[in-house]
Amino acid sequence: MNDTDVLVIGAGPSGLTLAASLVSKGITTTVVDRQAAGANTSRAAVVNARTLEVLDGLDVSRRLVKEGVQAPRFTIRDGRRVLIPVDFSALPTEYPYSLMVPQATTERLLLDRLTELGGTVIRPKTLTSLAQDADGVTATFDDGDTIRARYVVGADGMHSTVREQAGIGFEGGAYEESFTLADVRLRGEAPVDEVILFWAKAGLTVVAPLPGDIFRIVAPVPEAPEEPSAEFIQQLLDERGFGAGRMVVTDIIWGSRFRIHHRVADTYRAGRLLLAGDAAHVHSPAGGQGMNLGIQDGVALADALAAVLGGAPDSVLDDYSAARRPIAQGVVEMTDRLTRLATLPRAARSFRNAVFGVAGRVPAVQRALALRLSGLVNR
């Protein structure tokens, strides 16, 4: 006898989206997370158009839009020079912009919706092992409890226990450099309606607006400090941004460091075990895609599970894996290219700037990039 139809491990953005979608379809769902409370560190800052489209059905998009700021432009620059301008405002969507909102807000709104629909998250509760049989899966937790479910989804992040227990490989590698991340207040030239990816000699740097006159700075550096100081971020912006003194850090609100991997799971399904989000794919934050992919996985997997639980053949779950995995591979390749193109040697940089300076003016190139960054290419 199963306790629940679907057991979701992990209440990050992917798990919360999946759970809310399942509950909204009337499917018995249990969600657990090993943390006592939702994380308030803010990693993802960009919610793209496709994510807003898929969250529309859950009635979450209008709440997100209320709390975020809209950035209809994305540019790749070398200093002040725009190499590739990307304009989202002409895209065929109700959401022709990147919505800039801290990940903690996105998670709060998803949790609110899950709760409204009658769902809940059991925490702290840590999955330790899984055993599948013909009728279901037995999940065992660190407190000795067990839960029986027809299907278990690993939305448990990069170090996924579900992926490990399923014996699914996670091919790829790690970037050598660590990434520094800071939320700051700026005086000077930083635009409030544009996300900028600077390709600088010392490495790429992202400057993105957030609500409350805050800017998010993300940059790979050889040894990121545990907590970056205002001086450290100022030096980064002077070296990699518009030029010395053009963006001035007046206040540092929060900062951290991360190591980033680029990996994709060999498959998203092993029998009754499924993967979604960072458990299935991780990559460079350049392009702001990770959380977006995870949320979109969540909605797609909820549809597939609802179909199978409603009597469709269980090959629908293989279709989920077959459809979503190549999308993640494409994103890993794109973000890897954006990351590596930033750090070419000087001679190659002038060549790169010449090539992209020309290609970046071609409307078809701009539109192709707009469709990929907005996620609309995966409709």
CA distance 264 to 321: 12
Kindly tell me which residue out of 68, 285, 360, 375 binds ligand FAD, with binding defined by CB under 6 A: 285
Per-residue tokens: 231: 């001086």
Residue 114 is a binding residue for ligand FAD (CB under 6 A): no
In the window 217-236, what residues touch ligand FAD (CB under 6 A)?
Answer: 218
Give the count of beta carbons closer than 10 Å to the beta carbon of residue 4.
Answer: 19
What is the C-alpha to C-alpha distance for residues 98 and 191, in angstroms, rounded to an integer?
14
Minimum Å distance from CB 364 to ligand FAD? 25
**Distance of alpha carbon 88 from alpha carbon 371, whole angstroms:** 8
Angle at 90 between CA 86 and CA 93, to 5 degrees: 110
Establish if 161 lies at the interface with ligand FAD (CB under 6 A).
Answer: yes
Locate 7 and state its tokens: 């057991």
Contact 213, 185 (CB under 8 A): yes
Piece of 56-64, 291-299, 344-352, 363-371 that binds ligand FAD (CB under 6 A): 291-299
Binding piece for ligand FAD, criterion CB under 6 A, among 6-14, 113-121, 236-244, 362-370: 6-14
Footprint of ligand FAD on residues 296-355 (CB under 6 A)? none
Stretch of 4-12, 169-177, 243-251, 363-371 contacting ligand FAD, by CB under 6 A: 4-12
For residue 52, what is the enclosing H or E element?
A: helix 49-56
DSSP string, 92-135: SSS--SEEE--HHHHHHHHHHHHHHTT--EE-S--EEEEEE-SS
Q: Is 278 in the site for ligand FAD (CB under 6 A)?
A: yes
> At its nearest, how many Å lie between ligand FAD and the CB of residue 258?
4
Closest by Cα among 183, 181, 173 to 340: 173
Report whether 190 contacts 45 (CB < 8 A). no
Residue nearer to ligand FAD on the CB measure, 28 or 126: 126
The nearest distance, CB 362 to ligand FAD, in angstroms, is 26
Near ligand FAD by CB under 6 A: residue from 29, 30, 34, 215 = 34
What is the torsional sign of CA 185, 189, 190, 191? positive
d(CA 214, CA 191): 11
Binding segment for ligand FAD (CB under 6 A), chosen from 40-48, 73-81, 144-152, 267-275, is 40-48
Binding span for ligand FAD by CB under 6 A among 12-20, 129-137, 245-253, 361-369:
12-20
Which listed residue (11, 210, 217, 342) binds ligand FAD by CB under 6 A?
Answer: 11
Segment interacting with ligand FAD (CB under 6 A) among 7-15, 74-82, 185-193, 312-320: 7-15
Please select the residue that binds ligand FAD; options are 4, 5, 8, 13, rule is CB under 6 A: 13
Residues that bind ligand FAD (CB under 6 A): 9-15, 32-35, 43-46, 103, 126-127, 155-157, 161, 179, 181, 218, 258, 277-278, 285, 288-292, 294
